[in-house]
Structure 1
Amino acid sequence: MHIDLLDPAPFARNDFWPTFAWLRANAPVHWHPEPDGGGFWVLSRHRDIVKVYADSDTFSSAQGMRLGSDPAAVAAVANRMLIVSDAPHHTRLKRALHQAFAPDRMPRIERLVTEVVRDLVEEAVERGELDFIDLAKQLPNRVVCALMGIPRADWAWIGRLTTEAFDSPDEEVRSSAHSEIFLYFIELLSRRRAEPGDDLVSEIAHQTRVDERDGTGRPLTDEEIVFNCNGVLSGANETTRYSTAGAVHMFARQPEQWQLLRTGGPAAIGPAVEEILRWTTPGVHALRTATRDTEIGGVPIAAGERVTLWNVSANRDEEVFTDPDRFLVDRRPNRHIAFGHGRHLCLGARLARFELAALLQELTPLLEGFELAGPVVFNSSNFTWGITSIPVRLLPTGLPARAA
C-alpha cells in the first residue's frame, strides 16, 4: 500500500482512515520517507503512542512538535513554550500555568462559559439555518478572549488571526498571523503589568510563580507568558471548534445518537463529550525526536530520528475500542488520547471539555436534531484537522428530525 501522510488531499476528502487501519495491522512502526531524502517514523497503535508520550526522557519535544515546523521558530520558543519543552522546564512551567486553572478558579470560568454558550445558542436557534462552523469558531474564541480580558472589539480580529495562524495553507500568512498575535499579547501584557485586572493574563503576570526547587519561586518571563498565551488561545480554539462541528456532523448523519443523548439526561453528557473528542481528534499528530538509541515495538529507533504519534489512528485502534469506526455517545470505557497523554496532556483539556458539555446541555432541550443543508468541507491539514464548513438546519423540539 502506498503511504503518503504528507499529501493533504486525503485529509481534505476525509478518507485517510483506511491508511491508518492498514498501518495498525501491517506496519505499526513505519518508516516514512520525505521528498528531500529524509524521513520520520509513523506510530499508529494506541499502545506504542502512549508509551512514547509517557517517556519524555527518550522522546523530546524541544526540537519541534509537528511535521513541517520551522527549526528557527522552534528554537526561539524551545523550553519556554509548553508544547516544545522537556523536563525539568516543562514540569515547572506547566505547574505554574496550572495555577491559573486551579479548582478554586473554575467556578468563575464555568460561569463565563455558560454565559457565552447561552448567547450563542440563542442566536443560532433564532436563525434556524446557519453554517455551524460560525458558532463552533465563536464559542472558544469568545471564552478565551473573555478569560484573558481582551477587549470585546478585538475578539473577531483575534479569531481571524488564530484561524490564519494555524489553518492557512500559505506559510507566509501563517507566519504573519503568529507575529501579529505575539505583538498583540506583548502590548496586552504591558498594560496588565501596569494595571492588573481580573483576567488570566493579569493572574499569570502578577501571581503565578515558577518553582525553582530551592524553596523560591520566580515570576514567569514576558516571553514565557506571551508564548503560552498564544498556545492557550490556539489550543482552545482548535479543539473546541473542530470537535463541535464534527459532533453536529455525526448527529445529523446519525439522529438516533442525538435522541439517545437527549433521553439520557445530564448523566449522558460526559460520555458523549468523550466520544466526540475521540471521534473528531482535531490534533492529528504530534512529533518527538529520539534522544538516544531505543526501540518501539521491536523496531530500532536511532538517536536523532523523528517519531510521529498519530492520535487519529490511536483513537480508532481495534485493540482498545470496540467498534472503533462507530460513533457511540454512550461508549464506555473511552481511553482516547485526543488531548495527548502524560506530561504533555493539553493544558486546556478541562476547558474544552466544559465548553462541549455546556453546548450539549443547552442544545438538547431545544432541538430534535440537525439536518445537513449543504456540503460538508474538511481542511487539508495533517496536524490540526476538522470541518471548516457545515451548513445545517436546526430542528426545534416538536419537529421530526430526518436522516441526512
Structure 2
Amino acid sequence: MTLIVPTIDLTDESMFERNEFWPALAWLRENDPVHWHEEADGPGFWALTRYADIAAVYADHEGFSSRYGMRLGSNADAVAAVSQRMLIVSDPPDHTHLKRVLSREFGPSELPRLERTVRRVAAEVMDEAVVTGDIDFLEIAKLLPNYVVCAAMDLPREDWAWLGQITTEAFEGEDEVRRSGAHGEIFLYFEDLVHQRRGGDGDDFVSRIARARRASEVPGEERLLTDEEIIFNCNGVLAGANETTRYSTAGGLLALIERPEQWARLRTAGPEGIAAAVEEILRWTVPGVHALRTATRNAEIGGKQIRAGERVTLWNVSANRDESMFDAPDEFRFDRSPNRHITFGAGRHLCLGARLARIELAAFLTELIDRVDRAELRGTPRYNASNFTWGLNHLPVRLVPKRAA
C-alpha cells in the first residue's frame, strides 16, 4: 500500500492560529517521528515529535547546543548578542553558573514568600473577575502571572501594567520589528534598574542578583554577574513567568468549561485533585510549543543521521500527546496519573519558573472553586499565531458566582 504523505509545514503559524496543527503532529509521530523539514527561506531543520527522542535530546546538552538559538525564526545577530549570557541560550558551564545564581530566588527558601504573594494576587484578581461577570478571561489571565512575577522581582508597583503590556508585545507583536522593539524596551528598563541598584545593600531581587557571585572563567575563582547577564536574565524571568501561566490558566479554564463533568468532580476532589489538575492543565495546554537545539556532532536519532551544525526542533506539544507515553492522550483528565509531561522541558534546561507556575495555577484553581459555581462560554475562543509560545488570546466567558450561604 502506498503511504500518502500529507503536506506538513510547521512554520505555518496560521495553522496554530486556527488550532489545526494536531493532526500533522499525530501523523509525524506515527509515520516520520524524526522528520527532515524543508524551509522556503532557510536551510531546513529536523522535527522530533516522539516523547522518548525529545527527552533524549534534552538530556544530551553536549551533543545538542542551546547557545545558537532556542526557537525557529530567531534573529541570529540578536541570539549572538546574548549567547552564553542569557540562561535560555547558553550551554554549560555558563548555563550551570547562571542557573545556580538565579535558582536561589525561586528555591525552597523563597517558597513561603512566593506562596503568600501568589495567594494574595490570585484573590485580588478573582475578586475582580467574579464581580465583572462577562469578561474576556485573557484580561484576567494576564494579570495573575504579571502581578506575581513583578512582585517577586520587587519591581515598582506603578510599572506593573506597562511591563505586562510590553511583555505581551514582545511575543505577540504584529511583526518582528515590533517584537524586537518591545524586547529592547524591556532591556533598557532593566538596564536603568541595575544602574540604580548595583552596589547597594537593598533586599530586592535585582540588588540580590547584583551582589551574587558565580564561578568565573578562571578556575577556582568567582566574580559578580555582569550588567548584561543581569539585564538579559531579568528579561528572561519576566517573559517566561508571564507567558506560560497566562496561556495555561486560560486553556485550563476552557478545558473545564467544555467538560462539565470534569469541573463537577474537581470541585469535590480537594487539594490532591487540584495538584493533579495543575499537571493535566500543563500537559494539555503546553504553551512552549517547540524548542530548538543545534547538533554539535554527528548523531543518530530514530535511525536518521543528524549532522553536526544541523538544527533539531523538539515539539513539546507533540510529546505531551504521545500515545506511547500517555493513555488516551487526546482526553483531558484532571486526575491523570502518572503524568510525566514535558511542558517545562527537561534536563538542565528545565524551566526555572516551573515551581512558580505550578503555585500560580494551584492558587487560581483554588480561588475558582471557592468563588465560582460555573463558567459559561460567551463567544468563540481564539488562539495566537505562533509555533513557539502558543495559546488562547481571546476567551469570552461568564463567571457565575456561588450563591451566598
Q: Deviations over 1:129-167 (max 9, x none)?
A: 211101110111111111222211111111111001011
Displacement of 1:390 in angstroms is 0.2
Displacement of 1:319 in angstroms is 0.3
The answer on 1:209 being equivalent to 2:250 is no
CA contact (8 A) 1:376 1:391 kept: yes
Matches of 1:41 and 1:126, distance apart in 2: 49
The 5-angstrom pairing of residues 220-259 of structure 1 reads 220-259=225-264
- The corresponding residue for 1:138 is 143
CA contact (8 A) 1:60 1:289 kept: yes
- The corresponding residue for 2:333 is 328
Displacement of 1:174 in angstroms is 0.5
1:175 to 180, 183, 189: 180
1:278 to 283, 301, 307: 283
- The corresponding residue for 1:402 is none
Matches of 1:388 and 1:355, distance apart in 2: 19
Displacement of 1:106 in angstroms is 1.4
The answer on 1:89 being equivalent to 2:55 is no
- The corresponding residue for 1:123 is 128
Displacement of 1:192 in angstroms is 1.6
Matches of 1:345 and 1:166, distance apart in 2: 21
- The corresponding residue for 1:57 is 62
CA contact (8 A) 1:251 1:369 kept: no
Matches of 1:320 and 1:146, distance apart in 2: 37
Q: Structure 2: which amino acid aligns with 1:14?
A: N
1:3 to 1, 8, 25: 8
Displacement of 1:216 in angstroms is 3.9
Q: Deviations over 1:302-323 (max 9, x none)?
A: 0000000000000000000001
Deviates more, 1:160-169 or 1:49-58: 160-169
CA contact (8 A) 1:339 1:345 kept: yes
Matches of 1:198 and 1:105, distance apart in 2: 13
1:366 to 355, 361, 371: 371
Q: Structure 2: which amino acid aligns with 1:205?
A: A
Q: Which runs of 5+ in 2 are unaligned?
A: 1-5
Displacement of 1:211 in angstroms is 3.0
- The corresponding residue for 1:268 is 273
Matches of 1:141 and 1:102, distance apart in 2: 19
Displacement of 1:37 in angstroms is 5.3
TM-score (normalizing by structure 1): 0.96
2:320 to 315, 333, 339: 315
Deviates more, 1:195-204 or 1:123-132: 195-204
Matches of 2:147 and 2:315, distance apart in 1: 30
Matches of 2:200 and 2:128, distance apart in 1: 34
Displacement of 1:348 in angstroms is 0.6
2:356 to 351, 356, 360: 351
Displacement of 1:194 in angstroms is 5.0
Q: Deviations over 1:213-233 (max 9, x none)?
A: 855432211111110000000
Displacement of 1:243 in angstroms is 0.2
2:308 to 303, 306, 318: 303
Q: Deviations over 1:234-263 (max 9, x none)?
A: 000000000000011111111111111111
The 5-angstrom pairing of residues 186-205 of structure 1 reads 186-193=191-198, 195-205=200-210
Q: Structure 2: which amino acid aligns with 1:18?
A: P
Displacement of 1:195 in angstroms is 4.3
The answer on 1:101 being equivalent to 2:106 is yes
CA contact (8 A) 1:44 1:309 kept: yes
Displacement of 1:346 in angstroms is 0.5
Deviates more, 1:37-46 or 1:57-66: 37-46
The 5-angstrom pairing of residues 11-50 of structure 1 reads 11-36=16-41, 38-50=43-55
2:152 to 123, 136, 147: 147
Displacement of 1:126 in angstroms is 1.0
Q: Structure 1: which amino acid aligns with 2:214?
A: V
- The corresponding residue for 2:395 is 390
CA contact (8 A) 1:377 1:390 kept: yes
CA contact (8 A) 1:65 1:287 kept: yes
TM-score (normalizing by structure 2): 0.96
- The corresponding residue for 1:157 is 162
CA contact (8 A) 2:199 2:210 kept: no
CA contact (8 A) 1:259 1:368 kept: no
Displacement of 1:398 in angstroms is 4.7
Matches of 1:131 and 1:194, distance apart in 2: 43
The answer on 1:68 being equivalent to 2:65 is no
The answer on 1:287 being equivalent to 2:304 is no
Displacement of 1:375 in angstroms is 1.2
The alignment-based identity, stated in percent, is 62
The structure-2 alpha-carbon separation of the partners of 1:258 and 1:54, relative to structure 1 and needing over 3 Å to count, comes to: same
